[in-house]
C-alpha cells in the first residue's frame, strides 16, 4: 500500500515538472529557435531564393518580429522592407522562413482594414 502511495506521489511530481518544463520551452521557443541573428535586409532578400540552407530566414525572424516590425507599420513599408511575400490572403501575408527544426515555418503578418500591421507570429506548416 505504501508503495502505491509513493508511486502516485512520484508520478504526480514528475508530471507537474514535465508540464512546467514543456510550457516554459513553448513560451520561449521562438526566441530559442528563431533568435540567432539580427535582421539584415540584404541577407533577408538574398535568402529568399536560397537552397543552401534549410532554415534560410528563420535565424532573423525573432529579431524582425520583436524589434523591427512594430504595430501600425503600413503594409507598403513592410513590403519595401521585406520584399514580396510568399503568400498573400486578404489582410494577411506570409514570408517563407524555410525548414527549421524539421518543420516548414513562415512569418505571418496581419493587417487591419487600413493596411496597418496589427499582429505577427511565426507559424509552422
Residue 40 cell numbers, joined? 539584415
Express each pLDDT in 75-114 by its tens digit.
999 999 999 999 999 899 999 998 887 889 999 999 999 9
Please give the pLDDT value at position 82: 95
Please give the pLDDT value at position 90: 87
Q: Rounded to 5 degrees, what are φ and ψ at 67?
A: -120, -20
23: enclosing H helix or E strand: helix 2-34
Which of 3.40.50, 2.20.25, 1.20.120, 3.30.1450 would CATH assign to domain 34-124?
3.30.1450
Task: Work out the pLDDT band at 3, boundaries 50, 70, 90.
Answer: low
Please give the pLDDT value at position 18: 86
- CA dist., res. 35 & res. 87, Å (int): 23
**SS3 assignment, position 18:** helix
| Rounded alpha-carbon distances, angstroms, from residue 78 to 34, 38, 41, 56, 88 | 19, 17, 11, 19, 13
- The pTM assigned to this predicted structure is 0.73
Better pLDDT: 5 or 118: 118
DSSP letter string, 67-94 = II--TT-BHHHHHHHH-S-SEEETTEEE
Q: Is the pLDDT of residue 35 over 80?
A: no
Domain ranges of the chain: 34-124
Q: Is the pLDDT of residue 59 over 90?
A: no
Among 74, 14, 72, 63, smallest CA distance to 37 is for 63
Express each pLDDT in 105-114 by its tens digit.
999 999 999 9
Amino acid at each position: 500500500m505504501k508503495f502505491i502511495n509513493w508511486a502516485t506521489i512520484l508520478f504526480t511530481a514528475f508530471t507537474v515538472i514535465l508540464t512546467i518544463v514543456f510550457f516554459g520551452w513553448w513560451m520561449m521557443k521562438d526566441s530559442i529557435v528563431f533568435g540567432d541573428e539580427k535582421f539584415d535586409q540584404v541577407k533577408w532578400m538574398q535568402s529568399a531564393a536560397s537552397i543552401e540552407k534549410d532554415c534560410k530566414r528563420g535565424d532573423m525572424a525573432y529579431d524582425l518580429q520583436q524589434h523591427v516590425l512594430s504595430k501600425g507599420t503600413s503594409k507598403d513599408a513592410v513590403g519595401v522592407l521585406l520584399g514580396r511575400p510568399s503568400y498573400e490572403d486578404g489582410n494577411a501575408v506570409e514570408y517563407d522562413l524555410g525548414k527549421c527544426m524539421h518543420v516548414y515555418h513562415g512569418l505571418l503578418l496581419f493587417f487591419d482594414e487600413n493596411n496597418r500591421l496589427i499582429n505577427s507570429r511565426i507559424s509552422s506548416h
